[in-house]
Amino acid sequence: MRTKRCGRAILIPILWLTVLSSTLAAELSVQVDRQRLEQGEVLELRLVAEGDLDAEPDFAPLEPDFDILRRGQSQMTSIINGRISHSRQWSLELAPKRTGRLTIPAIQAGSDRSQPLSIEVVEPGGAKARSGQPGQSSPKALFVESEVETTTPYVLQPIEYRVKVYYRQPPQRAVLSEPEVEGSTVQRLGEDRAYDETREGQVYRVIERRYRLTPQHSGSINIQSPRLEAMLEDPRQSARQDPFAELDQAFGGRLFQGFPTMPGSHPGRRVVERAQDIELQVRPQPATSAGTAWLPATSVQLADEWTPNPPVFQVGEPITRTLTITAEGTTAAQLPDLELGALDGVQVYPDQPRAEDLTDGPSPVAIKTLKFALVPTRPGTLTLPEIRLDWWDTRTDRARVAVIPARTVQIAPAPGGASSAPVAGIEPSRSVTESTPESTAASSARESGPASASEDGAGWGLWPWLALMLAGGWGLTMVLWLRERRGRAKRRPTGPAVQRDPSGAPPSASAPTLDPARRALRAACLARDPRGARAALIDWTRARWPDQTPAGLEALAARFDDPELRPVLRGIDRAIYAPPGESWDGEAAWRRLEPHLGNTRSDAPDATSPIPNLYPET
């Protein structure tokens, strides 16, 4: 008996737990507003859970055949005859992706599952035509199409993808999603375009949106078309949804005429349209173009401009060369940088490249601008090598090259510089070429002079010899006087000595004008103004050596004959043509230059003047 009583004592709690668990277990059920609908319409689905759930429902099984547009959730607690019950409800708005018989699979929430449900999606109006495309039997009020420039692009070849929304009457509300593409970049181009188009005798308003797709790898890439959600006017629902319709009829249809519609009560039907997906077969880079920069495009042009125009090549004077790449069927990010090549006797300072995409025209255009500052350092002949840009023509499927031909220019010497002085060895030939008949006759007379003098000397007697002796004595007196004058000049005390330049050349007569240039150089260096510092240095060199002015800062460095100054002067040129944001240490440059500029002020008369005083001192 005791054994039976113990068994009953154990069995009764187990039965109670079983009943309690069955009472607490949730029951999942799926409900839809209708089981047959047209493609483009929205299906409302409700998942109801009676009881407590141990997990959230998983709606992922719906995604292969439906777009989940909206999700909502509510919870309700009720007490009936002292019994408390809980229920939760999930509301979903679904848009079918295809026609035919579709199955809403079982939805699982933890250990609970719902029963599958079958629905039927038919073509609009029951016609067997493709949705959203021309050629269907009954014209639609709204549909979406998509198209691409080509379905077989090359890798990294930008192509245009267009989405077109057709409607006969403007929708009350419309939202267009973005296309989804894996393995490609997506960039929207410009603003939407609007125009009219006739389809099957019906005039449609078309809204076109453009995108640029750039495949990042070869192979198959699928473009998932965007989805359009719109609210269309439905006159059949207008009277049914108007809360004042019955009162209008009771009072003759005039009492509430003109009243604004209540929020949320807009009559209409909701539709969802989407175009067909597109699959791309992306081709790899051709083997014939391996080893070169890969630039697929439909058109590439190279152009160069000069500032000033026409260019004047002169030692020490900067000129700017601008190279412009204009390409269609590609992006500015894919355009490469260009080089001018090796230029002997010219310093090249490249500027920061500028690139931009123009998307407002009929077809997108990519432009890249590269500027180079050229400063010739010596006169002579300069050959600018040709500039080549390899690219692949996607229209003709062959490699092409854009070329700026080579050109040869002459670099003129700096004005007043050493390079413009007459070259040694040319003066004799110039003297020969400039000889005239009068000079030839005088030369013949000088050659015959001794003979005539000897002959005439016999007739004149002593007078010619006496005149010759007097002339010689006068010349000897002048020589002794000049020697004495120079000795007195050396012994006479002078004012502050004029410092000679490091090259050993005497200072020029315009030395008093050096101080303004020196002060301007100091001010420009302390203000970190490289252009002002270069201009002040050029003024200083012109005042210091007016007859043999160094051509540019490179020649000035050679004139100073100090290896430590060469990088300082080159740094000034580099700072002038450096990209924006780079600073120049002008204070350090001034500290290096100041000892070499010397004291240029002098109040003493020029002792090296070749013109003697009218009244020599005694």
Instruction: Identify whether residues 156 and 40 lie together within a single domain.
Output: no
pLDDT for the residue numbered 164 = 94
Instruction: Identify whether residues 108 and 218 lie together within a single domain.
Output: no
- Give yes or no for a contact between 139 and 200, defined as CB atoms under 8 angstroms apart: yes
Residue 33 placed within a domain: yes
pLDDT for the residue numbered 76 = 77
Domain boundary among 98, 122, 146: 122
Contacts of 106-109 with CB under 8 Å at 24 or more apart are: 106/61, 107/28, 107/30, 107/47, 107/57, 107/58, 107/59, 107/61, 107/62, 108/57, 108/58, 109/26, 109/28, 109/49, 109/53, 109/54, 109/55, 109/56, 109/57, 109/58
Residue 400 placed within a domain: yes
pLDDT of 430 strictly over 80: no
pLDDT of 214 strictly over 90: yes
Residue 201 placed within a domain: yes
Mean pLDDT, rounded, for 159-180? 90
Instruction: Identify whether residues 147 and 277 lie together within a single domain.
Output: yes
Which CATH number goes with the domain that contains 225? Answer: 2.60.40.10
Mean pLDDT, rounded, for 104-111? 84
Q: Which residues share a beta bridge with 118?
A: 103
Nearest CA among 329, 330, 327, 371 for reference residue 349: 371
Instruction: Identify whether residues 75 and 153 lie together within a single domain.
Output: no
pLDDT of 64 strictly over 50: yes
- SS3 state at 125: helix
Instruction: Identify whether residues 150 and 233 lie together within a single domain.
Output: yes
Residue 600 binned pLDDT confidence (cut-offs 50, 70, 90)? very low
- Alpha-helical regions (H) of 310-462: 427-433, 437-447, 449-460
Residue 210 binned pLDDT confidence (cut-offs 50, 70, 90)? very high
Mean pLDDT, rounded, for 6-13? 55
Instruction: Identify whether residues 278 and 143 lie together within a single domain.
Output: yes
Which CATH number goes with the domain that contains 395? Answer: 2.60.40
Residue 435 binned pLDDT confidence (cut-offs 50, 70, 90)? very low
- Give yes or no for a contact between 553 and 545, defined as CB atoms under 8 angstroms apart: no
For the chain, the average pLDDT equals 74
Instruction: Identify whether residues 36 and 114 lie together within a single domain.
Output: yes
pLDDT of 452 strictly over 70: no
Instruction: Identify whether residues 271 and 143 lie together within a single domain.
Output: yes
What is the radius of gyration, based on Cα positions, of the chain? 49
pLDDT for the residue numbered 239 = 47
Instruction: Identify whether residues 30 and 142 lie together within a single domain.
Output: no
Residue 108 placed within a domain: yes
Residue 477 placed within a domain: no
pLDDT of 499 strictly over 80: no
Nearest CA among 179, 177, 187 for reference residue 214: 187
Instruction: Identify whether residues 337 and 206 lie together within a single domain.
Output: no
Residue 403 binned pLDDT confidence (cut-offs 50, 70, 90)? very high
- Lowest mean pLDDT segment, chosen from 225-239, 302-316, 448-462, 542-556: 448-462
Residue 12 binned pLDDT confidence (cut-offs 50, 70, 90)? low
Domain boundary among 122, 150, 178: 122
Count of domains observed in the chain: 4
Mean pLDDT, rounded, for 148-160? 93
Residue 146 binned pLDDT confidence (cut-offs 50, 70, 90)? very high
In this predicted model, what pLDDT tens digit does every residue of 245-268 receive, in sequence order? 554 554 444 444 444 444 444 557
Which CATH number goes with the domain that contains 37? Answer: 2.60.120.570
CA separation for the pair 237, 232 (Å, rounded): 11
In this predicted model, what pLDDT tens digit does every residue of 310-363 receive, in sequence order? 888 988 888 999 999 999 999 999 999 998 877 888 988 888 899 998 877 667
pLDDT for the residue numbered 363 = 73
Which residues constitute the domain of residue 557? Answer: 511-597
- Lowest mean pLDDT segment, chosen from 69-83, 509-523, 555-569, 601-615: 601-615
pLDDT of 28 strictly over 70: yes
Whether the full predicted model's pTM is greater than 0.75, yes or no, is no
Residue 20 binned pLDDT confidence (cut-offs 50, 70, 90)? very low
pLDDT for the residue numbered 582 = 73
pLDDT of 286 strictly over 70: yes
pLDDT of 170 strictly over 70: yes
- Lowest mean pLDDT segment, chosen from 153-157, 239-243, 466-470: 239-243
Residue 490 placed within a domain: no
The residue ranking higher by pLDDT, 111 or 332, is: 332
Instruction: Identify whether residues 47 and 99 lie together within a single domain.
Output: yes
Residue 109 placed within a domain: yes
The residue ranking higher by pLDDT, 502 or 548, is: 548
Residue 16 placed within a domain: no
In the numeric block, which tokens belong to residue 246? 């019955």
In this predicted model, what pLDDT tens digit does every residue of 531-582 receive, in sequence order? 888 888 888 888 888 877 777 777 787 777 777 888 888 888 778 776 666 7
Domain boundary among 104, 122, 140: 122
Instruction: Identify whether residues 169 and 73 lie together within a single domain.
Output: no
Mean pLDDT, rounded, for 110-130? 73
pLDDT for the residue numbered 5 = 56
Mean pLDDT, rounded, for 407-427? 60
